[in-house]
Amino acid sequence: MTRALGLLVLCAATLPPARAGEPVALFDGNDTAKWYTFLRDHGKDKDPNGNFTIRDGILRVLGRNFGGLITRDEYANYEVQLEYAWGSKVWPPREKTARDSGLLVHCTGLDGAVSKSWMEGIQCNMLEGATGDISITGASPKYQFKAQAEERPAGKKTGLYWKDGALARAFGPGRRLLWLGRDPAWENVLGFRGKNDVEKGIGEWNTLVVTMKGNTMTVRLNGVSVSQATDLGVTRGKLQIQSEGSEVLFRRITLTRLD
């Protein structure tokens, strides 16, 4: 373990996981009965290209068509846990960019409202080198949050990285909270790996835990707290898993209510 990663683990200890009721399987290896699909150019529950399939207990989101899986129910005050792995397939126009998906929470409004593909919501980004970034999908001003963050180099510009105890800053549509250890040299290229990445490589299983408690969102990846947002403008809604040009596999998705 590098020294920098050791610091990440120490930070994780300041944000203990929330616990309450028994986990409910949103995906148990058998079916996606608690979800429906929405795909650009196809609409609701129409999947002519086999974008969502289950085989040997694994849910495969092929990524060929933009859209996603959306829960039939809305949720508030919960913890959702995903066990996922990046697959090898990528599709135009994203075949040369970092593998990309995302978990959208507290989604509201119409299916396909954003880029004819997704609902509006708060996004825990799932992106090579940037999993755990928090942003807003859509342009609605009701989606906003605050986060303790420090300004540091991010490529040729600067970015706001989550840091527990730092100055609280406001985020709205178009602004992005970067996860604690994101590489300042991050590039949107296929297979990017940062020196402090917590996420594992292609084909290896990761555990992503997103806790939505009141107006606070906490993200943990493989046991490390990587980002946190507070003062959420929306505190209830559906969940959506994005299909966005990259193959991603899921072997378990559970939701635990916290009230």
Q: pLDDT digits over 222-236, tens only?
A: 999 999 999 999 999
DSSP 3-state of 169: strand
Q: Which of 11-20, 90-99, 181-190 has the lowest mean pLDDT?
A: 11-20
Q: Kindly indicate the confidence band of residue 8, based on its pLDDT and cuts at 50, 70 and 90.
A: very low
Backbone angle region of 129, left / alpha / beta, with phi > 0 → left and psi within -120 to 50 → alpha: left
Q: Kindly indicate the confidence band of residue 21, based on its pLDDT and cuts at 50, 70 and 90.
A: confident
pLDDT score, position 20: 67
Task: Tell me the backbone φ, ψ of residue 8, rounded to 5 degrees.
Answer: -60, -40
Mean pLDDT of all residues in 201-222: 98
Mean pLDDT of all residues in 16-29: 80
The residue with greater pLDDT, 242 or 14, is 242
Examine the pLDDT at 9 and tell me if it is beyond 70: no
Measured CA to CA, the distance from residue 134 to residue 175 in angstroms comes to 9
Kindly give, in sequence order, each residue whose CB lies less than 8 Å from that of residue 177, ignoring residues fewer than 6 positions away. 133, 134, 135, 145, 147, 149, 160, 161, 162, 171, 227, 229
Residues of the chain with pLDDT > 90, as a percent, come to: 91
Q: Which of 20-34, 139-153, 204-218 has the lowest mean pLDDT?
A: 20-34
Mean pLDDT of all residues in 170-193: 98
- The mean of the pLDDT values for the chain is 93
Task: Say which DSSP state 132 is in.
Answer: T
Examine the pLDDT at 10 and tell me if it is beyond 80: no
pLDDT score, position 3: 33
Mean pLDDT of all residues in 109-122: 98
Measured CA to CA, the distance from residue 136 to residue 189 in angstroms comes to 22
H helices of the chain, where?
A: 3-12
Kindly give, in sequence order, each residue whose CB lies less than 8 Å from that of residue 10, ignoring residues fewer than 6 positions away. none
The residue with greater pLDDT, 15 or 167, is 167
Cβ(119)–Cβ(240) under 8 Å?
Answer: yes
pLDDT score, position 204: 98
User: Which amino acid belongs to residue 74?
Assistant: E
Examine the pLDDT at 5 and tell me if it is beyond 50: no
pLDDT score, position 16: 52
Q: How far is CA 256 from CA 101, 125, 228, in A?
A: 22, 21, 19
Q: Which pTM does this prediction carry?
A: 0.92
Query: DSSP E strands: which ranges in 179-237?
Result: 206-213, 216-221, 224-229
- Among 172, 255, 177, which Cα is nearest to 212's? 255
Cβ(179)–Cβ(165) under 8 Å?
Answer: no
Kindly give, in sequence order, each residue whose CB lies less than 8 Å from that of residue 96, ignoring residues fewer than 6 positions away. 90, 189, 190
pLDDT tens track for 33-77: 999 999 999 999 999 999 999 999 999 999 999 999 999 999 999
Measured CA to CA, the distance from residue 244 to residue 256 in angstroms comes to 26
Measured CA to CA, the distance from residue 107 to residue 93 in angstroms comes to 26
